[in-house]
Structures are given as structure tokens and as C-alpha cells.
A and B are shown apart, each in its own frame.
Chain A
């Protein structure tokens, strides 16, 4: 009987961890899908998320307000995206290199800023912040198993999952969603139909940034008391891959995210489950799976026609 309880506890932990891990990935992928559907490829996703994570930490540390930290983090990512937007939309710069440059800028700037702001401490003694609290849904969170897995998370997690149907609705059931999608497929046709291509692309890039920023906020303020360099550890890249494997559709993105998250949860709980593998293998698993997911998903994955191609009226 005790074994049973132990097993249930492990499964519950695993599933709850899956939901937690999925949060920043969902924010990243949903934010990126809006941007990419509008035809702008944001390779700087990792950089936006990292900047948001750092800004979130910084604001939380200085002001003590979690709410303010999350808002500022979201804004920070939107600003980083805006930088990409200006280069990609108005200046027709190459989106691949610009995205990479933004990643490098974000990585370097957050590291520099962090060290400069906290040089008086060594890494062991950097100031800690108060992590966001859990928001347990009354009654629902007391249910056995389901209660812990689904209803005892932070508010950002609920928001992330709620965004899935919201973004889906926006994309497919509203006029503005139709217009955004047209930008990614054929901006010339959209222009001919009188849609303001550049303006709407900026909107998509900013909106995407705000959402991605929430993911960055979760990585720092929502999870851990301290900041460490390159904290996002490739989550932005995974989100980027998730968009492709999810065929740019919010519902499929959710499924792919959960698969990746489950893997991540397994890696965290490895010893508890009795997995006897070097920890490096577990750490590397998501990246390997990402490549596999791309290989499998490629055949049925259709990107927006004009993704990454700048538009000027000839």
C-alpha cells in the first residue's frame, strides 16, 4: 500500500512539474507564433526571454513587488522585440542575423548589468527575491491528484494555459487575426486589400514580445529566488522549435509543449523514478528530442509562406 502511495505521489509530482515547466515554453511559443504568423521570424526569442527574466529579477529585488516585476519583464521583452521589429520591418535587415545579434546582446547585457549591479556580492551571496506565490484555486485544488496537478499553480501558469484558446480564437475567429495571418502568407495581397502591413507587423511583434516576457518573468520571479547568467538555458530555443513542430497552430503547440515538458519533468525527477543514467544525458534529452521532433514534424509542417521575408511596396 505504501508503494502505491509512493507511486501516486511520484506521478502527481511528475505531472505537476510538467505543467510548471510548460509555462515559460507556452508563453514563448504563443508569443512567437503571433510574430511569425505576421511574417516576422524572431530568432532573438531566447534573448527577449532572458532580458525579461533579468528585468523581472531586478525589479523584484529593488521594489519587492512581484506584480511590478512581471509587468516590467513583459515590457522589457516587448522592447527587445521592438528592436528586432525596427530592423526587420522598417529596414529590411536580414532577420536571421538580426535575431542572433539580439541574443548575443541580451546575453551580454544581462551578464554585464547583473555583475555591475551586484559586484559587492559574490555569487553565493547575491540578493534573493521573494518568489511568486502559488494561487490555489478554492475547492478545485483540494481534489485528489487533479488538485495538485492542475489547480495549485502560480497565476502565470493559469494564464499561460488560458492563452492557448485565446490566441487560437484571435487567430481564427477575428478580423485582426485573419489580417495577421495574411501578412505571413502574402503581404503583397494583404497590402492590395488595404491592410497596413508594416503597422500590423509591429503590433504583432510587440504583442508577441509582451507574451514572451511573461515567460521570462516566470523563469526568474516565478520560480527561483536568485538570478544566474543565461538563466533561460535554451527555453527560448525550445519554444522556437515548438512553434515549428506545432505547425504554427496554438492547439498543436500545446501538445508539443506538453511532450517536451514531460521530458523535462522526468529529467528533474530522475532519481525519484529510479532512472540510472548520467545526468548529462537527461539534460541533453530535450535538445535531442527537439531535433527528432523537427525531423518528424517537418513533413507535415507548413510555415507561413512569407515568413522572414521583408516587404516593401514595389
Chain B
């Protein structure tokens, strides 16, 4: 009767917080290594490269403020993702909803231009929320009415909103005095007030923080949040216990879209001061990554977004100083997400030595 020892991979019952943090650490480590490899591959000195990344991100008070500014839309798109993903509604349309918010808020600006600044700002913020909400609602409605997967609808809408924006900027809203295809600049009254003099940190940042806290309360402490979480974990049991799938899906897409739309309005009236095609540089997709890194916790989105905002600035500096393409930041983001997914998946198993025949 022969007996052997063999290694067996078993699923763990639960993953402790310690192990979760470990996974995050591993993921970060892998991201750092791959970043180093890519920097080296361009012929740049790795240490110098990381130095540039750091100094561009948080190296000085000024760059810190710049990173906080950059993080503003990321916080919002991250939050938008958190709300949706908690309910297992796969909203991938943050990019389109962001632009929808920007578009509607610009329209509102044009319609209410004469209003005093405080009123105007409230109007455009509300319009940004509405624009994003409407966009999200379309995807939600298509899912509820026809059963079409929201992943596909939201991605298709991303493309469609992009084309809509392109048409708006080349025809009705085009700045006649400019060579570029963008809208005329908005008046001073419509520019979001700057929070720290000498920087570009604007009101949007405060709005984003408030949104993070509000969504934390919503998700963790209200009956609606309870329903969202229960539905995401087990939609069947939730249905049996009274959750109306249709209205929950619509509500979640509405809230998610609205928050993403807010990002669009915030960027338009806080930074660019006009409607243009590149208000967002993939912030919608970055938001998805941030939400995953934050483990779908609204408050954890804040540090994650600030980190990623810093990374974006850092890579811009890296491009300026060392000619490493700024596109590096997109690679880093994706690598962080993939290595996090891998690390989390690996730590959900444990290895045991077992006897067997």
C-alpha cells in the first residue's frame, strides 16, 4: 500500500485583511518592477526615471496640489464605478457619461449665461449630474426593457457620445474664432473658484470629497445601500426578498452615471473652461481601475485616486525630462489592476501538503 505526498491547491474559506493587504503589496511590487523594466527598455536610467515620477507626482507642494487637481475627476469616476459594481451592474460607460455631463452642463451654461456666478455654478453642476444620469439611464433602460448586457450598451454609448461631441464641436458649438474644434471659452462667472491660490485646485475637488463621503454613507449605512450590496452578492435571494430588480438597476445606473457626469462638468468648468474633445484622457477607464484597487470602498477611492493622479503627473514629467513616453502611465495602471486581480486570486487559495494514494 503505497502512499505519496502531494501538494494540493485548496480554496480558502475567507481571506483575512492581512492577506488582502499582502495582495495589494504584491501587486504594487509587480507594478514597480514592470515600470522599472519599461523605463529601462527605453534606455533611461531607472533611478532617474523613478525620481522624475516622484517629483512630478508629489515632489513639491506645487506638484502635490497639481496631483490633487488631477485626481478630482478620478475620484468621481472611481465612485461612479463603486456604486455600480457593488450591485454587479457592470457600468463601463463612465467615459461616455463623463462627456454627457460635460455636454449638458455646457448647454446649461449657454442657456443660463446671464445668471450670477453662484447660481450659474449650481446650475451647471446640476446639469452635469443630469447629463451623466441620462446617459447611464439609457443603458439601464435598455437592460431592463430588453435584457441587453450593460457592458455592451455602455461601451457602445461611449463611442456614440464621442461622435455626438465631435459633431457638436464641429458645427453648432464651434468657436468661430479658433482653428481648433472646440467651443468658445466660458465666462469668468462660470469658472469654478480656485481653492488654493497659485494652483489649479478648484471647487470640484471639494465636491468630489463630499461625494465620496456621501456615497460611503449611502452604501454602508442606508437601506438602499444594503439592498445594493445584497443584490450584488446574491441577486436571486434579493429578488425573493423583495428587491425590485428593474428599479434597482435603473437607480444604480442613474446614480453611477450622475457621478461620472459630475466629473465631466468639473473638468470643463474647473480646468479647461471650454468644451473640447479631450476633456478626459481615459478618466472613465482609470476610474474602473481605481474602484477595483479600492476594493469598491467609497472612502478608499480617495487615496487611490490621488495616487493615480500623481502617477499621471509623474509620467508627464518623465516624458519631459527623460523622453519616456507619457503613455507609460496607462501601462502602469493596467499592470496594477492585473497584478491586483492575480494577487487577489492567488491569495484566495492555499497550498497544503496532503497524503494521497
Contact = CB atoms under 8 A, between A and B. Distances in A.
B303 interface: no
Given A97-B292, A281-B163, A112 B341 contact: no
Contact of A237 (B42, B155, B331): B155
Given A43-B151, A105-B334, A112-B330, A287 B288 contact: no
Given A43-B151, A104-B289, A107-B330, A295 B142 contact: yes
B19 interface: no
A283 B162 CA distance: 10
B263 interface: no
Interface of B: 11, 38, 41-42, 90, 92, 142, 146-149, 151-153, 155-157, 159-160, 163-164, 166-167, 170-171, 285, 288-289, 292, 323-325, 327-335, 337-338, 341-342, 344-346, 348-349
B174 to A, nearest CB: 13
Interface stretch (A87-95, A213-221, A253-261): A87-95
Given A290-B152, A294-B149, A93 B345 contact: yes
A25 to B, nearest CB: 15
Contacts of B171: 278
A284 B160 contact: yes
B288 A108 contact: no
B167 A280 contact: yes
Chain A CB within 10 Å, residue with most, of B92, B149, B333: B149
- Prevailing SS type, chain A contact patch: helix
A187 B170 CA distance: 53
Contacts of B325: 111-112, 115-116, 119
B146 A298 contact: yes
Contacts of A237: 152, 155-156
A278 B289 contact: no
Nearest to A290: B156
Contacts of A12: none
Given A109-B331, A112-B38, A96 B90 contact: yes
A108 B338 contact: no
Contacts of A98: 338, 341
Contacts of A52: none
- Sorted nearest first, the 6 A-B pairs with minimum C-beta distance are A108-B330, A105-B334, A91-B345, A115-B325, A284-B163, A111-B327
Chain A CB within 10 Å, residue with most, of B155, B164, B288, B329: B155
B337 A92 contact: no
A195 interface: no
A208 B349 CA distance: 28
A147 interface: no
A277 B284 CA distance: 30
B167 A278 contact: yes
Interface residues of A, number: 42
7 contacts: A91-B346, A93-B344, A97-B288, A97-B341, A108-B327, A287-B157, A298-B147
Contact of A87 (B42, B328, B331, B341): B341
A109 to B, nearest CB: 5
A127 interface: no
A52 B338 CA distance: 19
Given A108-B333, A278-B167, A291-B148, 4 more contacts: A104-B333, A109-B330, A116-B41, A278-B171
A202 B17 CA distance: 32
A190 B202 CA distance: 58
A96 B330 contact: no
Interface in A56-100: 83, 87, 91-94, 96-98, 100
Contact of B331 (A105, A290, A295): A105
Nearest to A237: B155
Contact of A116 (B42, B292, B338): B42
Interface string A43-60: 100000000000000000
A291 B331 contact: no
A283 B348 CA distance: 44
A129 B338 CA distance: 33
A111 B327 CA distance: 6
Nearest to B286: A104
A176 to B, nearest CB: 27
A116 B37 CA distance: 13
A112 B331 contact: yes
Chain B CB within 10 Å, residue with most, of A43, A92, A108: A108
A288 interface: yes
A310 to B, nearest CB: 10
A41 to B, nearest CB: 10
A102 B338 contact: yes
Contacts of B163: 280-281, 283-284
Nearest to A110: B327
A312 interface: yes
A87 B342 contact: yes
A280 B159 CA distance: 10
A241 B151 CA distance: 10
Given A278-B171, A280-B164, A298-B146, A291 B333 contact: no
A101 interface: yes
Interface string A236-254: 0100110010000000000
